[in-house]
């Protein structure tokens, strides 16, 4: 059995009851709120670098001053504790200052990915009853008309431009510039740790997205999980290359770096070549990315010549990284420890983490349960299965959200016995290693044979030149479904026979894709960056 105490010194824990009747294993010493993390960092490291974006550098003292100014401006414009404020902001310094300003006044931040389009944005604004929105100037055209979201009384633009002209607004008083906010510094609002700090909307690959309520209590446990298992502290420098609005960007990078007092280097847009330069120039020691981003870095010649010796921990999530990618990274960067972290919006980021140094040994696993996590494997009747058998992963622990905003039906359906029902098929072996095979809805049934699409996708990702792979089932009147694969292989020769031969040497014959489609552009994703398999199914 792999145990955390074999690898790290665990903080003191105890059993507590939260969110009604959930009995949870909790860290005794934890931040009481998201804003308290900033207060702590400012008190300990006022002059240390907190944020960097291009040539802009903010110390914790400077960040705190910006937060005070914006918070006072929010209050001056009538925003109150508990009100929802949508953050339609890209990766920039203002995302962080607005986030903590909202926490200071006790408002609920609702980050939305900048890939979201007008109808999706309108739905989120309506569903959470947003009182205000803070958005980038370039995103103003996607803002819905006033009559569509009557609750929205304040529109704040991250720009000093003439907002009335840009937005075509009849009343310029409804649109103000973030830089114009000011007012007297106020004491922070009092919040309970079980209060909602942020609402993050799930991907909405089927139907409308649901607003997961991340509490201060949830976020506090997630950042401690990351800090203690990955051994991060105030000396670390993290690269925010994933969207700040995603749970990974928000919790595993922004909140985490503030919690430990480290520096966050913000990447406005990920492009592999300049990102490699940034890793070297900024002496990045920690980051979390999706496997495709590592793949793109490996395609850059500079990756093998740049000084990346400071890069110590490289997190990745969702699924195991292809073995060839792990091997290539290990050869290029022997000082980099890759760490698989499996989590979701509903679990405030990590549910499992691979102990440092074990990813290469257990490359088919997403790690072991985080120190406070409770992970169960259940059958279709809600009963536990035997060790090593597969079933649906149910996830409990202090990082699991209490439910979805104003959606009791979805909450009742998605949670049971204090756990979130992940919808993932997985298993836990005798060592405690968790494996994730597929989404329940993405399993393919070919003539009675169950095929995990993730297994086929990982095999395809091991083919040189493949940056993205998606496998879906297409209807078949004889077999029920047939296996179809979609590949994004930029600047590579596209040969379906070679792909099939590669798969046939590694997979059972019924798992080999029968149709292979090559895309000249990245595969379709939703606003949260999740692959839209439904659009590939046709």
Gap between the Cα atoms of 105 and 70, Å rounded: 10
CA-to-CA separations, 65 to 42, 73, 183, 482, 490, in angstroms, rounded: 10, 12, 12, 58, 45
Per-residue pLDDT averaged across 460-467, rounded? 90
Cβ atoms of 449 and 510 within 8 Å: the answer is yes
Domain 35-42+53-190 sits in CATH at 3.40.50.980
Residue 284 has pLDDT above 60, yes or no: yes
Confirm if 10 and 371 have CB atoms less than 8 A apart.
yes
Query: Looking at the chain, which residues constitute the CATH 3.40.50.12780 domain(s)?
Result: 17-29+210-439
Residues 166, 303: Cα–Cα separation, whole Å: 41
The mean of the pLDDT values for the chain is 92
Higher pLDDT, 478 or 53: 53
pLDDT at 174: 64
pLDDT of residue 18: 98
Rounded (5°) CA angle 97-264-363: 130
Where, residue-wise, is CATH 3.40.50.980 in the chain? 35-42+53-190
What pLDDT is attached to residue 164? Answer: 43
How far apart CA 260 and CA 38 sit, in angstroms, is: 10
Q: How confident is the model at residue 291 (pLDDT cuts 50, 70, 90)?
A: confident
Indicate the pLDDT class of residue 160, thresholds 50, 70 and 90: very low
Q: Please state which CATH class domain 443-537 belongs to.
A: alpha beta
Q: pLDDT tens-digit profile of 332-363?
A: 999 999 999 999 999 999 999 999 989 888 98
Q: Per CATH, which fold does 17-29+210-439 belong to?
A: Rossmann fold (3.40.50)
User: Which residue spans of the chain are classified as CATH 3.30.300.30?
Assistant: 443-537
Instruction: State whether residue 134 is helix, strand or coil.
Output: strand
């Amino acid at each position: 059995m792999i145990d955390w105490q074999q690898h790290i010194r665990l903080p003191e824990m105890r059993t507590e009851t939260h969110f009604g009747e959930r009995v949870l294993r909790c860290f005794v010493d934890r931040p009481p709120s998201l804003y308290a993390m900033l207060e702590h960092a400012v008190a300990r490291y006022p002059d240390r670098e907190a944020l960097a974006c291009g040539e802009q550098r903010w110390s914790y003292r400077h960040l705190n001053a910006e937060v005070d100014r914006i918070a006072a401006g929010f209050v001056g414009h009538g925003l109150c504790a508990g009100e929802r404020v949508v953050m339609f902001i890209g990766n920039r310094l203002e995302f962080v200052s607005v986030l903590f300003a909202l926490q200071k006044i006790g408002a609920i931040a609702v980050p939305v990915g900048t890939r979201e389009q007008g109808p999706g944005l309108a739905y989120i604004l309506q569903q959470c009853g947003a009182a205000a929105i803070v958005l980038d100037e370039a995103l103003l055209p996607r803002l819905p008309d006033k009559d569509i979201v009557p609750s929205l009384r304040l529109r704040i633009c991250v720009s000093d431009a003439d907002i009335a002209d840009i937005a075509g607004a009849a009343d310029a008083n409804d649109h103000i510039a973030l830089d114009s906010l000011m007012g007297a510094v106020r004491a922070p609002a009092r919040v309970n740790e079980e209060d909602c700090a942020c609402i993050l909307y799930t991907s909405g690959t089927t139907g409308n997205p649901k607003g997961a309520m991340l509490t201060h209590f949830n976020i506090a446990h997630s950042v401690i999980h990351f800090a203690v298992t990955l051994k991060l502290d105030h000396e670390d420098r993290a690269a925010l290359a994933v969207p700040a609005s995603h749970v990974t960007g928000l919790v595993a990078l922004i909140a985490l770096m503030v919690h430990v007092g480290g520096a966050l280097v913000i990447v406005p847009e990920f492009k592999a070549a300049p990102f490699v330069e940034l890793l070297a120039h900024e002496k990045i020691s920690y980051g979390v990315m999706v496997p495709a981003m590592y793949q793109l870095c490996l395609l850059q010649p500079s990756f093998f010549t740049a000084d990346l010796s400071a890069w110590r921990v490289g997190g990745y999530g969702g699924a195991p990284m292809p073995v060839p990618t792990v091997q290539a990274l290990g050869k290029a960067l022997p000082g980099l420890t890759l760490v698989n972290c499996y989590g979701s919006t509903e679990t405030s980021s990590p549910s499992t983490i691979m102990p440092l140094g074990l990813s290469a040994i257990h490359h088919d696993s997403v790690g072991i349960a985080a120190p406070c996590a409770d992970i169960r494997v259940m059958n279709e009747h809600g009963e536990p299965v035997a060790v090593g058998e597969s079933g649906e992963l149910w996830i409990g622990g202090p990082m699991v959200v209490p439910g979805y905003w104003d959606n009791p039906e979805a909450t009742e359906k998605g949670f049971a016995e204090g756990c979130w029902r992940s919808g993932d098929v997985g298993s836990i072996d005798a060592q405690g290693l968790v494996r994730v095979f597929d989404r329940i809805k993405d399993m393919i049934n070919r003539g009675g044979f169950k095929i995990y699409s993730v297994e086929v996708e990982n095999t395809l990702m091991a083919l040189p030149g493949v940056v993205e792979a998606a496998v879906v089932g297409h209807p078949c009147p004889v077999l029920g479904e047939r296996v179809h694969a979609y590949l994004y292989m930029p600047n590579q020769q596209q040969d379906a026979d070679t792909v099939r031969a590669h798969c046939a040497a590694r997979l059972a014959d019924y798992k080999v894709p029968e149709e292979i489609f090559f895309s000249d552009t990245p595969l379709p994703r939703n606003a949260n960056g999740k692959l839209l398999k439904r659009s590939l199914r046709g």
